Amino acid sequence: MLFNSFEFVALVLVTFGLYYLPFLRRIQVPILIAASLFFYGYTNPKLLILFLVSVIINVTTSYLVVHGLPQRRRAYATVGVVMNLLILAFFKYSPLFGRTFFPPGHSVGEFLAYVPLPIGISFFTFEGISLVVDAYRGRDIPKYRSLVAKSITRHAINTTFFVAFFPHLVAGPILKAHDFIPQIKEKFFGELDWQYCYKALVTGYFLKMVIADQLNHHTFWIQYPYFETHSTFVLLTLLFGYSIQIFADFAGYSLIAIGVAGLFGYQLMQNFNFPYISTSFSEFWRRWHISLSTFLREYLYIPLGGNRKGQARTYFNLMITMVLGGLWHGAAWSYAVWGTFHGLALAVERFWRDRHPAPEKPSVLRQILSGLLVFSFVTLAWLLFKLTDFGHVIKFMQALFNNTGFSSYMAIVVYVALYSTPVVLYHLYYLYKTHNPTHTLARRAEPYVYGLMFFLIVTNSGIGTDFIYFQF
């Protein structure tokens, strides 16, 4: 069920109506669980089987970690993490494994190639890992001890809700148990922050429906063989457009998720923080898909040793984290290459900074050049998301260099520029706000800007498409 569908709007309205009825207040969480399971199984009820199996594994292992035999805590936690990873590996990477390691026509390879990819699996398995690991860490971190309730029934309800809560279920933000579970309690209609929800929903729907969905039909031309026919200038424009589109699509999704969760009294973590103003790669990863980058940092990079084991090991840890982070996105080697590129960028940047520390107050010119460098690199790397066949990536790069003499189809340029402008302004406005904390004029204009966005959502939306991150 898409966020930009009437079915979804109906589901939210009905759930919202029931949720705040005073006589149903005690079953608010079960109401949300029922709505979430309906949401997830709406187009394919069979998906619920795997989802519930995953939930049962996480409920059991996390409960045993806290309330089972103390000497077996580590074993229970290991089993929980491994089971989550096995589910993810089997359903997500079987096709890649089958295509890579078996000859065409081989029965095992054929079987693996057709293992279906359940939507949202990358997200709910990571959340399961977060729960098991946080439960295990409860021994050292006092506030984590309350994550697993004494009653197995209560724990099962909390866990199911934590993983299934529909705004974040299929494409994040990836929740961490220690952030979300403490929020589970009765919610009151009077405590609703309407402005927060409205702003998140309007911005989210605007980014998705007006920007990403409109750009989607122009960046279509990045597909093989169509890019062969376009000039270098148009190809660069399309790359820029795709960079804007993927941001608008995913940041839009995340904001809708945050807004809808807010309607039910829950706060999800911010997933994007104006990533395209980043002046370094490390800053980019603090601003882009924050829930994934913080997950990788907390549950992979730091346990690997982070930057505590010397320089060489730090670079290695960065690389391994980014390669695995790349592969998390999809079962194609192009994602691993994408992760490797970013890992290399982070390692090289760190190496450089260790030897040439940046000045305390870098000049504006230096910041602009750094920002352009980071944006250009990130944008070029998105090509590996759009073209998962590596051969096509190489052909695209060849076209980029060879098609200099082609005539440019200016309509594409005009529309990409038109629909990218709001995202550019969105980032510039953030910069303006950062440097002018009072920004009275901008604050006064805000209601009208939101009104304009609302108007454009109604009158200027593109043809609805799946969210890009649904495939991950």
Partner 1 sequence: MLKKSLLTALFLLVGYEILMRSVDAWWSTGQNAPQSSVVRAHDFIYATKTYDNIMVGSSIGNRITSKVPADSLPRSFYNLSFGGQSIFDGLQILKKMDYKPQRIFIEMNVLMRNEDPDLQASLFSPVMYPVKKVMHSWRERNQPLGVLARLPLVLDGNPDLQPATPPTGLERSEDSYKAMLAVQLEAQKNAYPENYVADQINKLKTLVEYFQKQGVQIIFFEVPVDPKLCGMGAPVQLRTMIKAAFEPMGCKFVDMPDCEGYFTTDGTHLEKISVYKYLRYFRNELKRQGIMP
Member of 155, 208, 230, 289 binding partner 1 (CB under 8 A): 230
In the complex, least distance from residue 2 CB atom to partner 1, rounded to whole angstroms:
11
Q: Residue 230 catalytic?
A: no
Region binding partner 1 by CB under 8 A among candidate stretches 56-64, 326-334, 381-389, 448-456: 448-456
104 forms part of the interface with partner 1 (CB under 8 A): no
How many residues in the shown chain lie near partner 1 by CB under 8 A?
Answer: 36
Contacts of 324 (CB under 8 A, 6+ apart): 296, 300, 339
Region binding partner 1 by CB under 8 A among candidate stretches 63-71, 90-98, 193-201, 368-376: 193-201
Burial class (CB in 10 A: 0-12, 13-18, 19+), 250: buried
Contacts of 88 (CB under 8 A, 6+ apart): 121, 122, 125
Catalytic pick among 178, 218, 230, 329: 329
Region binding partner 1 by CB under 8 A among candidate stretches 14-22, 108-116, 301-309, 454-462: 454-462
Nearer to partner 1, 144 or 221 (CB): 221
In the complex, least distance from residue 180 CB atom to partner 1, rounded to whole angstroms:
27
- Which residue has tokens 């952030």? 179
419 forms part of the interface with partner 1 (CB under 8 A): yes
In the complex, least distance from residue 334 CB atom to partner 1, rounded to whole angstroms:
21
Member of 22, 26, 194, 357 binding partner 1 (CB under 8 A): 194
Nearer to partner 1, 344 or 456 (CB): 456
Region binding partner 1 by CB under 8 A among candidate stretches 106-114, 133-141, 341-349, 404-412: 404-412
Burial class (CB in 10 A: 0-12, 13-18, 19+), 226: exposed
198 forms part of the interface with partner 1 (CB under 8 A): yes
401 forms part of the interface with partner 1 (CB under 8 A): no
In the complex, least distance from residue 403 CB atom to partner 1, rounded to whole angstroms:
7
In the complex, least distance from residue 370 CB atom to partner 1, rounded to whole angstroms:
32
Nearer to partner 1, 151 or 223 (CB): 223
In the complex, least distance from residue 454 CB atom to partner 1, rounded to whole angstroms:
4
In the complex, least distance from residue 194 CB atom to partner 1, rounded to whole angstroms:
6
Contact 123, 169 (CB under 8 A): yes
456 forms part of the interface with partner 1 (CB under 8 A): yes
Member of 14, 56, 86, 458 binding partner 1 (CB under 8 A): 458
In the complex, least distance from residue 432 CB atom to partner 1, rounded to whole angstroms:
19
Member of 233, 430, 450, 470 binding partner 1 (CB under 8 A): 450
195 forms part of the interface with partner 1 (CB under 8 A): yes
Contact 86, 53 (CB under 8 A): no
448 forms part of the interface with partner 1 (CB under 8 A): yes
455 forms part of the interface with partner 1 (CB under 8 A): yes
Q: Which residues ranging from 29 to 68 are in contact with partner 1 (CB under 8 A)? A: none
Nearer to partner 1, 23 or 448 (CB): 448
288, HSE (Cβ side, Cα atoms, 13 Å): 23
Member of 24, 414, 431, 442 binding partner 1 (CB under 8 A): 414
**Residues with catalytic roles:** 329
The residue ranges that bind partner 1 (CB under 8 A) are: 6, 194-195, 198, 202, 214, 217-218, 220, 225, 228-230, 403, 405-407, 414-415, 418-419, 446-448, 450-452, 454-456, 458-460, 462-464
